[in-house]
């Protein structure tokens, strides 16, 4: 386990191989594990967090139910239907989850539970071609910036009239607004 952890932190990630069919050489090898939200109608899975690996999606809710990520302090966030709770975690938790996933998915990973159990693989891995992807986060609001002089002038006309459309500070600092 220590050798794999050192490998991850030394920048030699390209040496890692996965036992997951189709992962090595794909867009989603063990070195690139993107999080998203998916559903799978055939198995009745409602929207939930997943991680792409090769031609599959690793169901984080299933990993949680099977106790395969219990050692991660923030594991409970994967019971949610969005990534908001996970994104709110400190970077150290993101790294811990990624390290745990690498241990599960790497050919020489220290956690063989998923690798050695066909039943666990059936419950935790879903063919990527069969899933529907969803907006991964609940967006509460946004901040926007005036991106051009024309944009700032047009908005200024609406709020302050033509004679006072562009505020003098616009030329010296970015102007943002909360939407």
| Strand arrangement of the beta sheet that strand 56-59 belongs to | 125-127, 56-59, 45-53, 35-40, 132-134
Owner of token pair 């024309």:
150
Q: And the tokens for 87?
A: 């994104």
Under 8 Å between Cβ of 134 and 47? yes
Rounded Cα–Cα distance for residues 99 and 101 (Å): 5
Contacts of 14 (CB under 8 A, 6+ apart): 31
Round to the nearest angstrom and report the end-to-end CA distance of the chain.
47
Give the active site residues: 151
**In a 3-state reduction of DSSP, which class is residue 178?**
strand
Q: And the tokens for 101?
A: 């996933």
């Amino acid at each position: 386990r220590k050798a794999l952890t050192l490998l991850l932190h030394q920048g030699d990630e390209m040496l890692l191989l996965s036992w997951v069919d189709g992962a090595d050489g794909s867009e989603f090898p063990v070195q690139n594990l993107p999080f998203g939200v998916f559903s799978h109608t055939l198995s009745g899975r409602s929207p939930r967090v997943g991680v792409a690996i090769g031609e599959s999606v690793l169901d984080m809710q299933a990993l949680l139910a099977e106790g395969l990520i219990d050692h991660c302090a923030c594991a409970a966030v994967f019971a949610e239907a969005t990534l908001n709770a996970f994104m709110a975690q400190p970077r150290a938790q993101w790294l811990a989850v990624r390290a745990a996933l690498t241990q599960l998915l790497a050919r020489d990973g220290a956690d063989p539970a998923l690798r050695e159990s066909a039943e666990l693989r059936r419950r935790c891995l879903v063919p990527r071609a069969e899933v529907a992807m969803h907006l991964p986060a609940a967006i509460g609001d946004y901040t926007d910036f005036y991106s051009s002089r024309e944009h700032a002038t047009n908005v200024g006309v609406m709020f302050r009239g033509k004679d006072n459309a562009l505020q003098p500070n616009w030329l010296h600092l970015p102007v943002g607004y909360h939407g």
